[in-house]
Amino acid sequence: MVAPRHINPAPLARLLSVAPMMDWTDRHCRYFHRLLSQRALLYTEMVTTGALIHGDIPRHLAYDEFEHPVALQLGGSEPQDLAHCAQLGQEWGYDEINLNCGCPSERVQRGAFGACLMLEPHTVSDCVKAMKDRVSIPVTVKHRIGVDRFESYGFVRDFVGQVALAGCEVFIVHARSAWLKGLSPKENREIPPLRYEVLGKLKADFPNLQFIVNGGVEDNAHIEQFLTQGSEVWVGLSDSGDSGDLGHLSDEPRGKEDVDFQGPIDGVMVGRAAYHTPYMLSEWDNIFERHSKITTTHGVQAPELSPEPLRTREEVELAYVEYMHKTLQEMKANPKERSNPNQTASYQHMSRHMLGLWHGQAGARRWRQVWSDPGLKHESVFKRMELATQARLNASVIEAA
């Protein structure tokens, strides 16, 4: 298979992105998300350097050109291995390389990367430098605000400062600490409190760096709060309402009065909400447009653009069904090619990504049940869509009665 090459000359817009999520944001999921937003930056699942160096490269790196802009997230801690993999990512046409410094899983800890890398800022700095020396696309870092007992603001500030010295300009901050002992990865996304105000402090201390907020963002109204309001509002959005629980640490941001950055954040990354309620992405291009006007520099007003028409749920469903059909046909035509990235695609594997499409709408549950029904696996995807739509419409009539 020939590696796709894509040159993206425009600087990457990071206002809104979908988070890297293992087993979730595979290429099919990204294709589905791209149907909903042309401008969101999409991230791959984390791919480890070991998987790329010893494994099947096309299987891990192949994607559809339609997915751009798309960032490759790497997991690893050995600078030269990461540099080699970043170069592969660039050759395959990815728009950004991101280093995972936030994953708390035990498997990742055994490999000495992910969140535990935050304890070794010099290593991260070496990794970023090695990658930046090898590629011309942006190299970014996704991290937490602390690890285990290292929860003071000074810890994350020094981490960012050290990594920035290596030339990293964009930091995606999952606004929770990682507790490496005793919590599962799932609990690590829920139990450590969200402290968005740390981003305000970082932005104030490093005004020339870009900070993207991540963690607990639930809907577009929540996104708008980050994009329009200064960090004094983020304090109120945090789990504690203020950061008094950590106020004993002298360099902690304690609350509104200590958070001196006044502007909106540089971007918002959404994980679980984007997956479970994907139709929220259909509003994102409009949000991009509104905010690119607001943030136009030097007071120059961007020309008035007519907003993209929103795709309806029906249109998105049909487009994704056509994609599933095409993918399954390709797989059938080429069943022996081991490196075919669609080799493992099944209709269940692909259709699960769209199960949230009708979330909150009448008949959504019946629609989901039909798409998840293993008894229908011999039907074509078009037939399944017909049955699911019928079930949804019937259920909505009953619900309305």
Ligand X SMILES: Cc1cc2nc3c(=O)[nH]c(=O)nc-3n(C[C@H](O)[C@H](O)[C@H](O)COP(=O)(O)O)c2cc1C
- Residues with a catalytic annotation lie at 103
Cβ proximity to ligand X: between 235 and 270 the closer is 270
Among 74, 128, 217, 259, binds ligand X (CB under 6 A): 217
Among 111, 192, 216, 255, binds ligand X (CB under 6 A): 216
Cβ proximity to ligand X: between 264 and 271 the closer is 271
Among 103, 127, 139, 147, binds ligand X (CB under 6 A): 103
Cβ proximity to ligand X: between 168 and 370 the closer is 168
DSSP-assigned letters across all residues of 13-48: P-SEEEPP-TTTSSHHHHHHHHHH-SS-EEEEEEEE
Among 60, 142, 195, 201, binds ligand X (CB under 6 A): 142
Look up residue 79 and give its two tokens.
Answer: 């600078």
**Per CB under 6 A, 26 contacts ligand X:** no
Give the bridge partners for 140, in sequence order. 98
| Strand locations in 218-340 (E) | 267-270
**Per CB under 6 A, 188 contacts ligand X:** no
The single-letter code of the amino acid at 93 is G
**Per CB under 6 A, 256 contacts ligand X:** no
Among 15, 19, 62, 388, binds ligand X (CB under 6 A): 19
The single-letter code of the amino acid at 27 is R
Among 93, 102, 253, 341, binds ligand X (CB under 6 A): 102
- Nearest distance in Å: CB 223, ligand X: 11
- Nearest distance in Å: CB 351, ligand X: 18
**Per CB under 6 A, 74 contacts ligand X:** no
**Per CB under 6 A, 270 contacts ligand X:** yes
The single-letter code of the amino acid at 359 is H
Which own/partner pairs from 257-263 qualify as long-range (CB within 8 Å, at least 24 positions apart)? 258/201, 259/197, 259/200, 259/201, 259/204, 259/231, 259/232, 259/234, 259/235, 260/200, 260/201, 260/204, 261/200, 261/201, 261/203, 261/204, 261/207, 261/230, 261/231, 262/230, 262/231, 262/232, 263/203, 263/230
* Cβ neighbours around 243 below 10 Å, total: 24
Q: Are 214 and 274 in contact (CB under 8 A)?
A: no
- Nearest distance in Å: CB 87, ligand X: 21
Cβ proximity to ligand X: between 148 and 330 the closer is 148
Contact window for ligand X (CB under 6 A) among 96-104, 205-213, 319-327, 359-367: 96-104
Among 49, 100, 177, 231, binds ligand X (CB under 6 A): 100
Contact window for ligand X (CB under 6 A) among 88-96, 219-227, 268-276, 329-337: 268-276
- Nearest distance in Å: CB 37, ligand X: 16
**Per CB under 6 A, 24 contacts ligand X:** yes
Any residues with CB less than 8 A from the CB of 187 and at least 6 apart, and which? Answer: none
Q: Are 143 and 121 in contact (CB under 8 A)?
A: no
**Nearest Cα to 118, choosing from 187, 50, 45, 173?**
173
Among 189, 290, 359, 365, binds ligand X (CB under 6 A): 189
Look up residue 74 and give its two tokens.
Answer: 């790497």
CA Rg value for the chain: 22
**Nearest Cα to 269, choosing from 103, 22, 42?**
42
- Nearest distance in Å: CB 98, ligand X: 8
- Nearest distance in Å: CB 218, ligand X: 8
Q: Which residues bind ligand X (CB under 6 A)?
A: 19-24, 45-46, 73, 100, 102-103, 142, 174, 189, 214-217, 270-273
